[in-house]
Copies of this chain bind each other. A is one copy, B any other.
Amino acid sequence: MNRLMKPGARERETLLNSGLLSALGVESVAAMMEIAVIGNLPARQILFREGEPADMLHCVLSGYVRLYKLDPDGREADVELYGPGDLIGASALLDGSRYAVTAQAAEPSLIARFDLKRVREIASRRTDLCTALANALSAQLSRVFASLADDRLHTAPQRVARYLLSHCAPDGRAVSFRLPYQKSLLAGKLGLAPEALSRAFSLLRNHGVNVRGRLVQITDPEALRRV
C-alpha cells in the first residue's frame, strides 16, 4: 500500500455512491466514514491472500480488483472481478475469519479499507449497515451462481456474446463501447484462457462484432443474441 490516508472530499463522494454506503442512513455513513482508510494500490499489488486471517473489508473506489484461487501447482482461477463501488471480502464476514480467495489489484486502484472488527461492531448496533451487507452478499451470490451456470452451459463464444450483450442497451440498436479492462482480465473473468477469448472474438466477427484494441462495435445485437 503506497499511501494511507483519511478519505478526502473526492473519496467521500465515491464512497457515498458505492453499493455499500448508498443504502445507509446518515449516522451509519458517518460511522463508516470514521473508520475508513483510503489506500492507493499499484497494479498487481496483493490485498490479501487466501487463507490469511481476515481483518479488513475493502471497497473499490477506482480501478479493478481480481479475486482468484490458487492450485497447488500455482495455476490461478479467477472467481470474481470487482470494479468501482463493489465490496470485497464480504465472503469473509464470518466464514472462519479467513479469506477464501486471494485479491489482487488488476490495475492501479484506489480502495477504501474498513477494520472488520469495527464493522461488525457497528453492524451489531445499526441494522441498516447489517442489511446493506446482507444485500451486497446476496447480490454477489446471485452473480456467482450466474457465472457458474454460464460456465457449465455455454461455449466460449456464447459466454463472450452474453458478456457483450450485458453491456448493451436492451433495444436492438447498434452500439460501440470500450472494454473497461484488459482482455486478459476479461478472459479470466469468463473462465477462459486469453487465446480462447481471442478466438471467440474472431468468430464473432461473423455475427456483427468488431473489435479493435479495447474498442468494441456491435452492429447487430440480434444476431449476437442468436449465437
Contacts and interface: CB of A to CB of B under 8 A. Distances in A.
Interface of A: 67-69, 71, 75, 77, 79-80, 90-95, 100-101, 120, 123-125, 127, 130-131, 133-135, 137-142, 144-149, 151-154, 191
A93 B135 contact: yes
Q: Please give the count of copies of this chain that the complex contains.
A: 2
Contact of A145 (B79, B149, B151, B152): B79
Nearest to A147: B148
A93 B138 contact: yes
Contacts of A92: 138, 142
Given A90-B141, A145-B101, A95 B135 contact: yes
Contacts of A135: 93-95
Contacts of A90: 138, 141
Nearest to A23: B94
A161 B212 CA distance: 43
A91 B137 CA distance: 8
Given A151-B148, A151-B151, A152-B77, A130 B134 contact: yes
